[in-house]
Every structure is written in C-alpha cells, then in structure tokens.
Chain A
Amino acid sequence: MTAMQSPVGKPLDRVDGPKKVTGQAQYAGEFDAPGLLYGSAVSSAIARGRILTLHTEAAENVPGVRLVLTHLNRPKMAGENDAYEDMDAADGAPFRPLYNDRVLYSGQPIALVVAEDLEIARHAVSLIEVEYDVESHETDLYAQLDRAHDAPAELPEARGNVDAALAKSDQTIDVEYRVPVEHHNPMEPHASTVMYFPDGSLLIYDKTQGTQNSQAYIEQIFGLEGQVRVRAPFVGGAFGSGLRPQYQLVLAVMASLTLKAPVRVTLTRQQMFTFGYRPRMSQRLRMGASADGKLQAIEHSVIGQTSRFEDFTEHVAEWSGMLYHCDNVALKYSLVPLDVYTPLDMRAPGATEGVYALESAMDELACAVGMDPVEFRLANYTDFNANEGKPYSSKELRACYAQGAARFDWNKRSAEPRSMREGHELIGMGMATGVWEAMQMPASAKAALCSDGTLRVSSATTDIGTGTYTVMTQIAAAAFGLPVERVEFRLGDSSFPKAPLQGGSFTVSSVGSAVQKACDALKEKIWEAARQLADSPLAQGAVDDLRFVDGRLQLGDSPEHGMALEDIVATCGPIEAEVDGKPGEAREKYATATHSAVFAEVRVDEALGTLRVVRIVSAVAAGRVVNPKTAGSQIQGGVIWGIGQALQEETLIDHKLGRYMNHNLAEYHIPVHADSPELDVIFVEEHDEIVNALGSKGVGEIGIVGVAAAIGNAVYHATGKRVRELPITLDKVL
C-alpha cells in the first residue's frame, strides 16, 4: 500500500487562515464581556521628574467615567524587584506602572481613566492636568558617551592580539557605524482584556509572546498566585514587543481588581512608542587583512543606549567572533543609561545591528584588499565557531553564497563603484552574510487522541503570525501519518503545557520537538491500550514494528495486523500523553546557527539622491524547512523589514524635550508595497541531525539579518559613497 506523503516540508496553507480572513480570529482587544469597561492611559509629557499634582476632578466628573487610577489609589503591588522580573527582564529594576510619583521617561503612563466606553475615556484623559517637578534629562546617546559603563553581558574572551595583528596587516579599516532607535509597531496595538470572576480570579486576553510569562508576572506583582489564566489565541504581530508584559496589562488588571469588573486597555498607535524599542547604537570596527584577503584582526566595540533602571543587552558583537575565521578578536560592549524606557528585543535582536556593522565593514575591507565581496568571505570561511570553541552542527553557507550569487547573476556586477548606470540612475550591487543562532529551549506538549479519532495537540506557545498553528499541525500529522485535517493544534493558553517565550527563532525547534516527542509518547500509549483489547490484531509485535499509516496503527507493513485509530479510542476511550522536552545532549559539542547570503540591487538617482531597492535574493540555510510557504513568508517579511531598516526606519528624538516626535505611522516610515522589490527566497538544502529531532533551525530572525548591510554595500557600489549611519535617506546620499 502507499502511505500518505508526510505533510512536513509541504507548503501547506495556514490552518488558521480562514479564521483570520473571515474575522473569526479574535485578538486581545476584541474579546467582549457584559459590562466591559474601557481604559485609556495618560502619558507623561516630561522625560524626568516628579508628579506634584494630578488634577483628575474634571475627568472624574465626566458622565460614564468610573475610575481615574493613579499612583495614589492603585491596588497594592509587590515591593521587591524580583516580582517584576519577567522571563525576558533585563538586568536591573523593571519599570513599575503607577508605582509612585517618579517620571522616568517621556510617554510614561501616569494615570488610567476607566469609563463605560472608549470615547468617554479618551475625552476624560484630555481633561487631566498634571503639575510636574521637572528635572533635567538626558536622551542623547552621543552627548553622553563619557558615561558609558561595561554592559553586563558574557562576551567571549578576547583571543590573540588585535593591536599587534592590525600593525602587521596589509590593509586595515577603522570605521564607526550608527543605528537609530526603531519601534516594533506590530499592526495590532498592545491590548489586554481582563475578565473578572466573582471568586477574584482573572482570565486575561493579552497581546503577548508568552502567556505563562504574563501569568506569572501578574500573579507575582499582585499576589494572585493560582488565580490568573492568560490566553492569546491570536497575536497580530509582535516582533519582540510582546516578550515582556507591557504596561497596558498591568493597568487593565489594576482597574479590574479595583472595580471588580471586566476591563480592556488598548494602546493607541502613539502609545506604541512608549515602551521597548531597538536601541540607538554606535559600533566601531577595527579590522585588518593580509594582501591575499585573510582576516588578521577584528575588534568590534559597541556602545548602546539603555534606561536608567535596567541594563538592556543583546548579542551585538558576538557575530564578529563566530562568522569568519580570525585568530585575533576582541569584542567590547558598553551601555549609556538615559532618561528613556528600556530597549527590548526586536526581530533578530543584536544581529540586526551587529551584523549590519560587521558586514558593512567586511565590504569596506574587501574593497581595500581589492577582492570580490563573495570571494573575500569565502577566503575567510570557517566551519568552527571560535567564540564557543566548537564546530557548527551544520553550515551550508557556501551553498547560500553559490546559489544566491547564481540566482542574482552576481557575475554581471562590475567591481568598480560608479561603474554601472542606466539613464539618471547609478546601479549598485551589494551582498552580505546573515547569521542567527539556532537555539532550543525546554518545552512541553500534550497529545491526545480524541474519541472521534482527532489528534489534539497543545502547548502554551503562541502564534505571532509566524505559522505556529500550521507547522505544529504538520509535525503532529506527520508523526501519526494522519491527514492535517484530523489534527488540531491548540496554543496561546497559560493552562496548557509549559512553553518558552515565542522568540529567538526557537519555537519550531523547542515546541516542535516537544510536539513530536508527545506524539511518540502517545503512540506507545495507544499501542499499549490497543494490544490489551480482546482479539487485538496488535497483540503480538514489538515497538519497533509499529507503523502509524493513514489513520491506522499496524505492525510492519501488514494492514491485517492493525486497527483504525478511531476504532481503538471507540473501545478504549480517549488517550493522552504529556511530555517535557529539552535540548538534546548531542547539541552540547556543537555550535548551532542559521546562515544566509543576501544580494541586493539598488538604483540611485545621482542628481536627487533618491534610492530604491529593485531586487533582493536571500539564500537561507536553516536546516529542514517544515513549511516552505510560511517559512518563505517569514524570510520575505524579514527582508522587507531589512529594507526599512536600511532606508527608512528611525524614531526621531527631540533631545530638548526628551521625547520621540514621529510617533505615528504616517511619519514613522516603514516600507509600503511600492518599496518592495523583486524578492527571491532560496532555501538551501541543509541536513542536521544534531540541532534537534526535527533537524529544523527556525527562520523567524534570519530573514532580516544582513539585508541592511547588503543594501548599504550596494549603495556604495552605485555611488562610491559609504553611508555609515542608518537609515540611508536621500539627504545622506546627495
């Protein structure tokens, strides 16, 4: 007989797609309840100081207003720092909404108006006047560099002797790259709807990348152990903004506890600029190479901004010590605390900035040596991660270069800058390498064979638009030889088996492996149950003979020694298995990472400085791709974001006011369709039995990494001008 083809590796349409396009998918700010109240937050106008008086009377007198919550009348909150340290907390003392009269940054929530409808709440907010004791603030990283302190990051030890190697190098560069503040701005703004039950327990619909993170945080800070359940069945994008519980969650819970009523708080687009962001950063690279193009030294020094209350760190410089072979490496990282909110992981955190600088500098050094940028990278290729002292479990980056270059027609590029043009436009072609870690976290899952023969699998993870519903369905269906229609994957509920935060490109690796393991455990339980049945055709045989094929359990290739799954549960009743998964021991001896090669073509109008990206090829090696369609979408989204990072995105700061000024999506630019180029995504074949049981490395981050460098390098190739500060707007090219 012919077994059903495994659904893993197939471009399955999103299983949640129909719900999303028909409006049945409900997001955190859409759940309703009788008597639901609406909260609207008051944001501080100053960056630093103390609230002297909040004049709330006028707001309280607006008909329909039920409560104005401030630091003076909020419910009791935990006093110690530990309670506020969520799973993604940075070093320090996390921000506490409405905790006291201190203003720590501009835009900080300082009150919440709760009313019977949103318009009343927003109107009442406008009536609140605040008197501040204003203190002087600092928000400009570059004016405060002398206050930088060592970041609390575990950087790899320096190796070799950078200064000596630089002195002996035939070509050296010493360059500084700068990146601006960027805000996540997922399409769905942050929202929390809190359902209050008479026993004081709460069911919270939260926009989050970790239901159990929000649950534990709320339980800890309000002393509600065992009384909180958090659900996030659908999340309209997050990109890291939902890794930490955000203030709308705290405010909604405060109001709900105070009024013993259901409350929803949704942030405005403007307020989406009042919490975490990608930090502004300076990166200096000192690099040296021999005349034949061998890297001799890399020193990568990072200075980033953070808040006064937490030291936010990410992996910025590490990539410079692991991507190429180089014997003399020094990585440095320091932070400048400012009167701003703490930065927050944003898609490929650290790599987006760090690899941008490294890969731009690699291009500069390739030019200095006089080598083709691809050849230069190949000359310094390594299969060994010197940061960790371990070989890579797999690294098909050579194939990425080769296939990407072929698809792009890289050989048609002429080496000299300013050597290609058409009409008013100079043509530029550039490339860069991308890299991201292939991590795996502990995760749990439950698999159950229901009485109707449906396989139901669950885990507390979320689907932030990445395709988690779909790929987990595929993994479970493949494990059982079932059509995907007979599999239901449930997620986004803190009461489900434990899952890590959804981030870091480790969901498929972590939760997917747990799903597979739960399915394996369930198979054994089904067999044990089935073989006990009277006249069981499965009574004989060993575990190794079991086959799950076409909805049946059978021994070897003999259908006669088998039973349909629904017949088994019809007799035995539902069967379930829950497992805890953890990273495999095989990983310990290896470094694990995804790689990419990004090729970009730009056109620059010489007289006007206008710049457009016309073509991108991204060739990705990410192990086994569970679903090329959703994975392809991830890469495309990452690449387009990379175009935004390269050319458009920047949250502008008025340092006199200490405030972000372009806080809306008309003035904060991200690419529109008209900015999207011809975009080719290649998944390079990469076999890896070490990284995890699925051989799959995850693709959430890798798409954006390297894109800005490839574009910046293309701009240099087009114009001969090296722009070292993002975004590359036309005024910098003119």
Chain B
Amino acid sequence: MSDMIYEIRDLRLSFPDMAHKPLFGAAPRVEVLKGLSFDVPKGEVLGIVGGSGSGKSTLGRAMIRLLEPDSGTIRFEGTDITHAEESALRPLRRKFQMIFQDPMSSLNPRRRVAGIIAGPLRLQGVQDTQSCVLEALDMVGLPRSFARRYPHELSGGQRQRVGIARAVALRPDFILADEIVSGLDVSSQAQVLNLLEQLVKDLGLTLAFISHDLSVIRRLCSRIIVMHRGEIVENAPTVQVFDAPQADYTRELLQSIPLPDPDQVWA
C-alpha cells in the first residue's frame, strides 16, 4: 500500500464549453479526462505524453488538486484526495509540488528569487528559510548571488532552475513537471533535464514529467503514459514504448518526430 505514491481509478473531469453555451441555461460540458486509471509507484519517473488537447496537463493539475475531478478517485500515499477541501490539502501540499511550463508566468515578476523560493517554505512553517533558499540554489546549480535578482533578469534556463528550486526546497515526495523544457533552447533543455535526472537520484523523488515531445524523455523516464483525446492509449515501460509501441497513436507520434538526420525516412 505505502509503496504507491498515486493510485488513480476511473478519473473523470469535464469543463463547461462556453463556445456552445445556449443563451439561457448551463453550458454543455466537455469531458477532458475520460476515466483514467493508473498507479505511480514510489521512486518512479513517469512520462505523460500527448498532443495538445489530449488532457495531459489537466490530468497533472488534477493529480496535485489544482482542479477537482468530477468522479473517480485519486489516492496520494494512501489518502483519498479526490474531493478534499483546500484546508485539508494544505498540510499535504508540501509533499507534492509542481514545476510549471512557463517560468516567466509562474514566477511572480515582483518578487526576488529568494522571496519566490522562500514563499512555500514560510507557508509550511519552515524556520530557517534563509539557509534553505541558499541550499536550494546550490542544488539546482545557480550562484547564491541570484537570490537577490528578479525573474526578468534571468535567462529562460535560469528561470526554470528557480522554478525547480522552489519545488525541491520543501523536499517533497512527488513533483509534477508540466512541459518544463518546451519553452527552452536545446542547450538549456539538456541542462534542465540533466539537473532533474540528478535531483531524482539524489533526493529519491517520484516524478511525473508531462511533455508533448517523446524524444526529450527517453533517458529520464522509466515508464510512459501516452494520452490521446482524454484517454490513456498506452501505459508501458519506456523501452517498450520506443521499441515495440502497441497503440497506433504511439506509432504515429514516434514516426512524426523529426530526427536530426537527413537520411531518416519520414513516411
């Protein structure tokens, strides 16, 4: 029981479709997650892959309860958090953290780096925030002097490191990384992915890595969930997904990736 970080059963979530709202009455609902079930064992690095509109980000946000599902259950370390109130979630929040896609919008532009990293620490009642902030900066390989800078003074890769520092500073059990390298240049992508790989190893983290790009996660993830139109079409170990994909959609995804190789036959 306790070696599972997440147990998710028949998870459903829908949004109101404002584009088709009638003049009177409620808007029709669009089902974004159509009954998902999977487990995340402790220590696993799970890749969640899919195109835009596949529901992958919605799934991520439901897992850390930024969104409330319609039905089904989400158990985090054995606790049912499917419909938990915000006040009940608060003590759990230090155990699951999130790194956001766009570090520019996820870092408050009016705060210095130190304040951004210290925010969650203070809320969770950590006493010596100062040293925790510096330690977190060390962990993500940023100079300590960056503590006094503002987000807009940093490069994209550095900003994303601040986002990572904020997430790991609390020493959570689980981190959700939502498209965290898709806005970065390839050179920063590589650095951020290596850093994440290192942190997973050092801190014994469980990680869910959401991406639209299968090719960036091969080395990082041990298992991959492929999503398409709100459903899981494939849930398999990484090697199998790449070498013997079962679902048609997975095959299509793989064949669509442009390899940096002019000889690749692009059927």
| A and B assemble together | no
